[in-house]
Amino acid sequence: MPMSADEITRAITDALPGAEVVMTDLAGDNDHWAAKVTAPQFAGKNRVQQHKMVYDALGGRMGGVLHALQLSTAAPN
């Protein structure tokens, strides 16, 4: 069973308190997601480091219950 937007958001915000997560269902199937994550923990980190932090928050679910995730990240202004 695929991960819901709420499950993805919860995993990210549990690992990155204060993060803002905006989810978009790309295919209407609850299995292909886009996530825009803005988190204070990203300050001073490059894009690769930011993405790794999100993937770590998802605890290895990428490629399994979370089939596809288009990710964009940013530190708050």
Per-residue pLDDT at 57 = 97
Cβ-proximal residues to 18 (8 Å cutoff; 6+ apart), any chain? 39, 40, 41
Per-residue pLDDT at 49 = 98
Say how far apart CA 46 and CA 68 lie, in whole Å.
22
Per-residue pLDDT at 29 = 87
The domains of the chain are located at 5-74
For the domain covering 5-74, report its CATH number: 3.30.300.90
- Tell me the whole-structure pTM to 2 decimals: 0.92
- Mean pLDDT, residues 60-73: 88
- Mean pLDDT, residues 55-70: 89
Q: What are 8-57's pLDDT values in tens digits?
A: 999 999 999 999 999 999 998 888 899 999 999 999 999 999 999 999 99
